[in-house]
């Protein structure tokens, strides 16, 4: 029976030694924190990926990125065989492995091998990629060291967006062993062109407007989006890349998180014009938000909620046209604007479910629907389709029992679903899907933004000594600990018309997040400030005290 090859593991573990007392836990999307002092975590996650690969008899992905976090942070996301996030039952194993001392490392690994009944003689394969952070190159080397210490075959893809690595892992495990970055571009470019040319008569229709300007957060999305656009062709899509990393810092005053949370455009040089389409990616290009200026030059944000509404209604219309009866649903989180939930569920009569923050949670709920559209308000999301549902749509496209118009709608829906990266939220593929829908509907960004009007909303962050003192329930909409906090929040919320507010500890940053919405922006800002103050006072706030508005 094969055993762990302890000597090379321990030698490399010395090189990637754990700083004394350093503790981390697997958060909303893997480990995240200040890059310095995290080297051992990456080394150990390389080893964990090998164990998972041996267990699943499949390739596992390891992405080195801290996504929307500041440039000095870094993080690691593990990708399971079908391109989904690491299964939750392994998050605890990851946390334990990251936190043991070097002396306990072998014992901990043996514990995982025994508890999961892993056959160490099985082959292992690990795919690795990284974002553009200055620390990412060295930290991806730590992952490689960990994976090779356990004898895995490793493929290092260098710079990729997170969704590109998800796509490559899923395709490879699905049997396409020629998959690579180039195949990603070919796949999405061809799918987009097929949707436009064959289904939307693009060449005979007027394009929806000018170019789309994309702020790539000075991250890895910039060079990758340029490549995707080249594969599609400038005569078909005109993408202007902004914040391409040549000068500014990653995610600093730009990117999807900045735009969503600050509700304003990136600081540097966009020179926005009314009704032009603008979009922002985050640091690893798995989030997308759109925005524009209205005719009075007010900033108008079209966030993940609006993308979800656009996708869901478009899919519903095509299902109706094709006379296909399947269960379509939208999955949101507590951050979803109340108006979006009302529009999708009441006005459009589409089922809506609420999940905990983190795409891993939304993805799971979405797959319970035949077609599940899931988006976090921050722009992270995609569409999932059950295999038998996809087959039903495909066969409707050629069925002799269907009318020509119904077949065309089914064909268009098949083509649309091909543009979407079903493994995970993907800013590039979501951008193509949005552009295609607007094209098909002949809609401007203003038409899209008018489908419903958001309730004014505000997000804030509060620093506390230990954010784990806050515990939540009901998809994070209610606080259970500290016990005095929820009644205090309820009391304040009741003072504001259409008021809603919740707080939750972040799983990617060392802060407590506060969300508030109500009838006016002024009231919303007051509500957010008052709830922030409650968190500060009742959950051990540190540093600057939030001041009432
Ligand atoms: C990650 C997760 C998202 C989550 C976000 C913020 O995004 O993938 O699902 O919404 O973190 O999480 P939290 O509020 O717990 O900090 P990303 O784009 O940073 O990977």
Q: Are strands 277-281 and 212-215 parallel, antiparallel or unpaired?
A: parallel
At residue 201, the pLDDT reads: 54
CATH number of 304-449: 3.40.120
Please give the average per-residue pLDDT across 163-172, as a whole number.
98
ipTM, interface predicted TM-score of the complex: 0.96
Please give the average per-residue pLDDT across 320-340, as a whole number.
97
Q: Give 203's pLDDT tier (boundaries 50, 70, 90).
A: very low
The CA–CA distances, whole Å, from 517 to 364, 500, 525, 530 equal 27, 5, 8, 12
Give just the sign of the alpha carbon dihedral 474, 478, 484, 488: negative
Is 379 marked as binding a ligand? no
The percentage of the chain sitting over the pLDDT mark of 70, rounded to a whole number, equals 97
Q: Which of 128, 115, 125, 118 is nearest to 42 (CA)?
A: 128
At residue 480, the pLDDT reads: 97
Contact 53, 124 (CB under 8 A): yes
Q: Hey, which residues does 373 pair with through a beta bridge? A: 330, 383
Q: How far is the CA of 500 from the centre of ligand 1 (A)?
A: 21
Write the class of the CATH domain 457-538: alpha beta
CA angle in degrees (0–180, nearest 5) for 315-255-83: 50
Query: Tell me: domain 6-176, CATH 3.40.120.10, correct?
Result: yes
Contact 64, 88 (CB under 8 A): no
Q: How far is the CA of 358 from the centre of ligand 1 (A)?
A: 6
Catalytic residue chosen out of the listed positions 25, 36, 67, 429: 67
Gap between the Cα atoms of 187 and 193, Å rounded: 10
Q: Which of 130, 358, 247, 428 is nearest to 266 (CA)?
A: 247
pTM of the shown model:
0.96
Gap between the Cα atoms of 79 and 94, Å rounded: 13
Chain segment 57-67, per-residue pLDDT in tens: 999 999 999 99
Chain segment 6-16, per-residue pLDDT in tens: 888 999 999 99
Contact 220, 132 (CB under 8 A): yes
Q: How far is the CA of 30 from the centre of ligand 1 (A)?
A: 10
129 φ, ψ (degrees, to nearest 5): -145, 170
At residue 52, the pLDDT reads: 98
Is 376 marked as binding a ligand? yes
User: Looking at 266-270, 406-410, 427-431, 541-545, which range is the least confident one?
Assistant: 266-270
Is 394 marked as binding a ligand? no
Please give the average per-residue pLDDT across 192-218, as a whole number.
74
Indicate the fold that domain 183-296 takes in CATH: Alpha-D-Glucose-1,6-Bisphosphate; Chain A, domain 3 (3.40.120)
Q: Which of 103, 100, 118, 10 is nearest to 57 (CA)?
A: 118
Question: Does residue 303 have a pLDDT over 90?
Answer: yes
CA angle in degrees (0–180, nearest 5) for 240-245-246: 95
| For ligand 1, atom 17: residue with the closest CA | 67
Question: Does residue 198 have a pLDDT over 80?
Answer: no
Q: Hey, which residues does 500 pair with through a beta bridge? A: 517
Q: What is the DSSP letter of 547?
A: P
**Average pLDDT score, the chain:** 95
The percentage of the chain sitting over the pLDDT mark of 90, rounded to a whole number, equals 91
Q: What is the DSSP letter of 274?
A: B
Please give the average per-residue pLDDT across 416-429, as a whole number.
97
Question: Does residue 205 have a pLDDT over 70?
Answer: no
Contact 363, 384 (CB under 8 A): yes
DSSP assignment string, 140-209 = HHHHHHHHHHTT-EEEEEEE--HHHHHHHHHHHHTT-TT--HHHHHHHHHHHHHHIIIIIS-GGGSPPSS
At residue 493, the pLDDT reads: 97
At residue 548, the pLDDT reads: 75
Please give the average per-residue pLDDT across 266-285, as a whole number.
93
For the record, the structure tokens of 363 come out as 């993805």
Domain with CATH 3.40.120.10 in the chain: 6-176, 183-296
At residue 6, the pLDDT reads: 87
Q: What is the DSSP letter of 264?
A: S
Question: Does residue 204 have a pLDDT over 50?
Answer: no
| Most ligand 1 atoms within 8 A of CB, residue of 358, 376, 506 to mutate | 358
Rounded CA Rg of the chain = 23
* Catalytic annotation present for 280: no
């Amino acid at each position: 029976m094969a055993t762990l090859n302890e000597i090379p593991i321990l030698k490399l573990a010395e090189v990637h030694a754990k700083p004394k007392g350093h503790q981390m836990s697997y958060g909303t999307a893997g480990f995240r924190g200040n890059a310095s002092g995290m080297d051992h975590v990456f080394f150990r996650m390389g080893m964990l990926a090998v164990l998972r690969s041996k267990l699943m008899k499949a390739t596992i992905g390891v992405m080195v990125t801290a996504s929307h976090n500041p440039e000095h942070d870094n993080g690691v996301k593990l990708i399971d065989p079908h391109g989904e996030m690491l299964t939750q039952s392994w998050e605890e194993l990851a946390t334990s492995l990251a936190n043991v001392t070097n002396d306990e490392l072998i014992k901990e690994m043996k514990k995982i091998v025994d508890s999961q009944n892993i056959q160490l003689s099985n082959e292992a394969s690990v795919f690795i990629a990284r974002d553009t952070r200055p620390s990412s190159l060295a930290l991806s080397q730590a992952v490689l060291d960990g994976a090779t210490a356990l004898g895995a075959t490793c493929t290092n893809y260098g710079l990729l967006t997170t969704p590109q690595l998800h796509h490559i892992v899923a395709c490879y495990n699905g049997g396409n062993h020629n998959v690579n970055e180039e195949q990603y571009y070919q796949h999405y470019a061809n799918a987009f062109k097929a949707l436009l040319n064959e289904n939307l008569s693009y060449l005979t229709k007027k394009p929806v407007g000018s170019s789309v300007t994309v702020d790539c957060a000075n991250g890895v999305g910039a060079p990758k989006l340029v490549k995707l656009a080249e594969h599609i062709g400038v005569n078909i899509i005109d993408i202007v890349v902004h914040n391409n990393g040549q000068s500014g810092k990653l995610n600093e005053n730009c990117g999807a998180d900045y735009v969503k949370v600050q509700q304003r455009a990136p600081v540097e040089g966009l020179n926005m014009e009314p009704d032009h389409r603008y979009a922002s990616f985050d640091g690893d290009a798995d989030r997308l938000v759109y925005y524009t200026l209205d005719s009075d030059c007010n900033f108008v944000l079209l966030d993940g909620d609006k993308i979800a509404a656009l996708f869901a209604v478009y899919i519903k219309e095509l299902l109706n046209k094709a006379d296909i009866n399947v269960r379509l649903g939208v999955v949101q989180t507590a951050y979803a604007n109340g108006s979006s939930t009302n529009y999708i569920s009441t006005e459009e009569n589409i089922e809506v479910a609420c999940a905990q923050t983190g795409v891993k949670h939304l993805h799971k709920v979405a797959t319970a629907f035949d077609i599940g559209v899931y988006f976090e308000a921050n722009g992270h999301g995609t569409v999932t389709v059950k295999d038998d549902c996809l087959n039903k749509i495909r066969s409707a496209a050629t069925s002799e029992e269907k009318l020509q118009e119904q077949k065309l709608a089914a064909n268009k829906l098949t083509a649309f679903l091909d543009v979407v990266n079903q493994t995970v939220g993907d800013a590039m593929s979501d951008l193509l899907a949005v552009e295609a829908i607007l094209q098909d509907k002949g809609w401007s960004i203003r038409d899209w933004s008018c489908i419903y009007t958001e309730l004014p909303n505000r997000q804030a962050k509060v620093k506390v000594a230990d954010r784990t003192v806050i515990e939540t329930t009901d998809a994070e909409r209610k606080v259970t600990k500290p016990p005095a906090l929820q009644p205090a929040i309820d009391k304040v919320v009741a003072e504001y018309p259409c008021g809603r507010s919740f707080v939750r500890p972040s799983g990617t940053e060392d802060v407590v997040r506060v969300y508030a919405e109500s009838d006016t922006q002024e009231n919303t800002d007051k509500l957010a400030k008052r709830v922030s103050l409650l968190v500060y006072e009742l959950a051990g706030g540190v540093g600057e005290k939030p001041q009432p508005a």
